[in-house]
Chains A and B, each alone.
Chain A
Amino acid sequence: MSIKSKEMLSKLGPLFGLLLLIIIVSVLNPSFLSIANIFNVLRQVSISAIIAFGMTFVILTGGIDLSVGSTLALTGAIAASLLAGGLDPFLTMGIALILGLILGAINGVVITKGKVAPFIATLATMTIYRGLTLVFTEGRPISGLGDHYSFQLFGKGYFLGFPVPVVTMVIAFFILYFILQKTTFGRRVYAVGGNEEAAKLSGINTDRVKIAVYAITGFLAALSALILTSRLNSAQPTAGESYELDAIAAVVLGGTSLNGGKGWIFGTLIGALIIGVLNNGMNLIGVSSFWQQVVKGIVILLAVLMDRKKSA
């Protein structure tokens, strides 16, 4: 076997894992395979997958972003409040996305210009953004968003028979895949994670690349916030708590190295699907929610251990 095809095989490992999981779950409970349930899984996955796509960019540069859940909550709350106040839904969505971009860019600036480790910087902004959400909402959910058809469609509608959030996720996937694999920016992302010093000495503005990946992540967190707010027709101040951990888990399950420089976004999609199928499957089988956490943790651990074996 050539080096290339061997590499390909190991890259597709997570996909085999997902298929195996689907087979196990559908044998234990055939109703898993009903269209309604599959759409349900995909709709749930779309929110975490979109966040995990952003996380992939950040982790590829060797960073981490713990603030995604708080960014989701803050942008969601502001969007809900604007809608409740009667603002045009498209304008609202635009404002929320730009706000997400800015919140992300702030992370990037603190990390690059302030030279703060990504873990610490985003741990701080995670707390700040969550606190701002609580201040803004006074700790209460925001509802009464009105019945804008276009906004409702975003989280609950169907497009050509598919749930709109799933379509959004797929479109986001293809755009981000293209950016990572086919553009100079994507190449720079890998270079910064692979060897920052060599990248800098090759004339790459590494600070700019890093700020951009955090901004992209903030933007995608805001996109998830819009889907979630539309689905629930309200914004919760505690929305998105521990989403950062699910996103990191999806990235890692997809085979992307936490050291940066190695990985791909297709793996993250599979990783997010594995977590989604696992959650849904355990519900269908009737595993208690306490045990579900244990199983999820074990799956993540096994995936990483197998990855270690492979690379050793």
Chain B
Amino acid sequence: MIEMKGISKSFSGNVVLDNVQFNLADGEIHALMGENGAGKSTMMKILSGIYTKDAGEVVVDGEVVHFKSPKDAEKYGIIVIHQELNILPDLTVAQNLFLGKELTYGKTGILKTRQMEKEAHELLLRLGLDVNPRMRTGDLSVGKQQIIEIAKAIASDAKYIVMDEPTAALTDREIETLFKTIRELKAKGISFVYISHRMEEIFAICDRITILRDGGYVGVRNIPETNFDEIVAMMVGRELGERFPERNCQIGETKLEVRNLTVNGLFKDISFSLKKGEVLAVAGLMGAGRTEVAQTIFGYRKASSGEIFIDGKKATIKSPIDAMNHRIGFVTEDRKTQGLVLDFSIKENIALANLKKCSSSGVLNKEKETSMVMKYIEDLKIRTSSPEQSAKSLSGGNQQKVVIGKWLGTDPEILILDEPTRGVDIGAKKEIYHIINQLAEAGVAILMISSELPEVIGIADRVIVMQEGKLTGEVNKEQMTQEVIMHYATGGEQLVY
């Protein structure tokens, strides 16, 4: 059992944790929730020895501990599995599992390869994963890599496992396997701290939930005795009202029509249409080919065959520049690798897709640039002290708004949003839904890829579903339920958490 009491921590005068408590019983799955910046990760970094606390007490199994490094925490069986997995893709599964604790013949340094492979295989089988231990780990799906991370923790006798956003990159089927594994380990007395923004998952798997807000402790609840609204209210410290704001919108004529779009090996014969003022969601499991379709429409990928019509006219889109000339904007899935230049300021990032607007004959015009950027900082409620602040230092939600601002600057008539609220806290999520509504009301045609079904149902006018590179269904607002969408997304199999 772990008890953290009166934990405080500040960085250069900034208080990030103030008298926070958290306790984890044996064989418990305990959710830690709060908006971005609430202090969840700082709390866990203190528990795992990455940070040292300024005040407070950490008690593990009745013993007061002072961890100075993750190694200290590991001795007490505390292991953190980070969102970015700690897997070396070019090593084999067995090599990854035994990384840093290889079995050798005495002190010679000669590896007992066979034995490690055998043990790795057995350990993974116990966790429900049947893979060849000699396989290159990078060739496995993210879900399987996650199980390998857990196996690594188990192999080093972990009793307390902290998982940070474990499902962010998993398909529903993989989430199911992960949950099964977690439940089995829980039955053996292993405890989990589960950090996630996904309320549905927390209610599906956790026993208790502790909520933090602005570096302070708000409270703890037993999952069966609480509900969604209470948790949200505790997190934001106010009633948030409707989770999905109302939209009042005239759906107009067809803006975009995609016919038989194909990229060999990725997706085939995708056809759909999108109207002005409409929000069309694309649902499906990870790897169904949704992002690839969006990239192809935007000219980032070359189509093998198929046609795209805009305003009824055939459009030739061979590059993002062509797409932008057709007034298409693309808020990409991964902010950090595709959306932002992290070393650039907010201003420079927003201006990036709008350099023509911010200049005359190739020379940047500071006033034009600043006034355009200030408009989006205000319109989108980007929380910052200055447009010169670097994008790197912003929270996930604010980073996402900067990417959206970049595209709003181009006055898009078609806006593609790929997972617009991934890794974004609940307050910022609602603001992003609000922005989507405003755009639709202004007549922008919106194509939204989302893996969060409640979001799809709450926001979309219509949803198309993809499975393994094919379009398997289309659902109207009236028929939209999670079950119907899942049915198409899995090719008929029903999934239960």
Contact = CB atoms under 8 A, between A and B. Distances in A.
A205 interface: yes
Interface string A1-29: 00110000000000000000000000000
Nearest to A200: B320
A151 interface: no
A4 B342 contact: no
Most buried by B among A3, A197, A201: A201
A201 B355 contact: no
A203 B348 contact: no
A10 B406 CA distance: 29
Interface string B321-363: 1011000001010000111111110001001110110110011
Contact of A187 (B337, B342, B348): B348
A201 B320 contact: yes
B76 interface: no
B309 interface: no
B364 interface: yes
B229 interface: no
Interface in B459-486: none
A201 B330 contact: yes
B388 interface: yes
Contacts of B340: 195, 198
A204 interface: yes
Interface stretch (A33-41, A94-102, A178-186): A178-186
A191 B342 CA distance: 10
A191 B330 contact: no
A202 B353 CA distance: 5
Given A197-B338, A203-B320, A185 B362 contact: yes
A186 B362 CA distance: 10
A89 interface: no
A187 B364 contact: yes
Contacts of A130: none
Q: Interface extent on A, as a size class? A: 20 to 34
A261 B324 CA distance: 24
B414 to A, nearest CB: 14
Interface residues of B, number: 31
A78 B339 CA distance: 46
Contact of A202 (B320, B358, B362, B389): B320
Contacts, number: 76
A188 interface: yes
Given A187-B355, A191-B344, A198 B388 contact: no
A194 B359 contact: no
Given A4-B388, A184-B356, A201 B338 contact: yes
Nearest to B353: A202
Contacts of A4: 388
B98 interface: no
B321 A198 contact: no
Nearest to A188: B355
B337 A182 contact: no
Nearest to A195: B341
A187 B337 CA distance: 18
B364 A184 contact: yes
B179 interface: no
Most buried by B among A4, A184, A197, A200: A184
A231 interface: no
A185 B352 CA distance: 11
Interface in A195-251: 195, 197-205
A52 B298 CA distance: 38
B343 A204 contact: no
Contacts of B203: none
A262 B348 CA distance: 13
Contact of B341 (A3, A199, A205): A199
Contacts of A57: none
Nearest to A261: B343
Contact of A198 (B298, B323, B352, B389): B352
Contacts of B362: 183-185
Contacts of B332: 198, 201
A190 interface: yes
Given A184-B355, A184-B356, A202 B406 contact: yes
B364 A195 contact: no
Contacts of B344: 190-191, 194
B244 interface: no
A36 B363 CA distance: 39
A202 B352 contact: yes
A197 B337 contact: yes
Contacts of B339: 198, 201
Given A182-B364, A187-B364, A188-B355, A195 B321 contact: no
A110 B339 CA distance: 27
Given A4-B388, A185-B362, A203 B353 contact: yes
Contact of A194 (B343, B355, B356, B389): B343
Contact of B300 (A186, A187, A199, A201): A201
Nearest to A4: B388
A7 B332 CA distance: 30
A197 B334 CA distance: 11
Interface in B415-429: none
A216 to B, nearest CB: 15
Nearest to A197: B338
Interface string B29-60: 00000000000000000000000000000000
A184 B359 CA distance: 7
A203 B323 CA distance: 8
A203 B318 CA distance: 12
Given A184-B355, A203-B324, A262 B337 contact: no
A194 B341 contact: yes
B193 to A, nearest CB: 29
B342 A183 contact: no
Given A184-B364, A204-B352, A261 B341 contact: yes
Given A202-B352, A261-B341, A183 B320 contact: no
B363 A183 contact: yes
Interface in B205-248: none
Contacts of A198: 332, 337-341, 352
Nearest to B407: A202
B342 A195 contact: yes
A185 B359 CA distance: 11
Nearest to B385: A3
Contacts of A195: 337-338, 340-342
Contacts of A190: 341, 344, 348
17 contacts: A4-B388, A182-B364, A183-B359, A187-B364, A190-B348, A191-B348, A191-B352, A195-B341, A195-B342, A198-B338, A198-B339, A199-B352, A201-B298, A201-B330, A202-B406, A204-B352, A261-B343
Given A198-B332, A200-B300, 5 more contacts: A184-B364, A191-B352, A195-B341, A198-B352, A203-B320
Interface of B: 298, 300, 319-321, 323-324, 330, 332, 337-344, 348, 351-353, 355-356, 358-359, 362-364, 388-389, 406
Among all A-B residue pairs, the 3 with the closest Cβ atoms: A194-B341, A202-B353, A184-B355
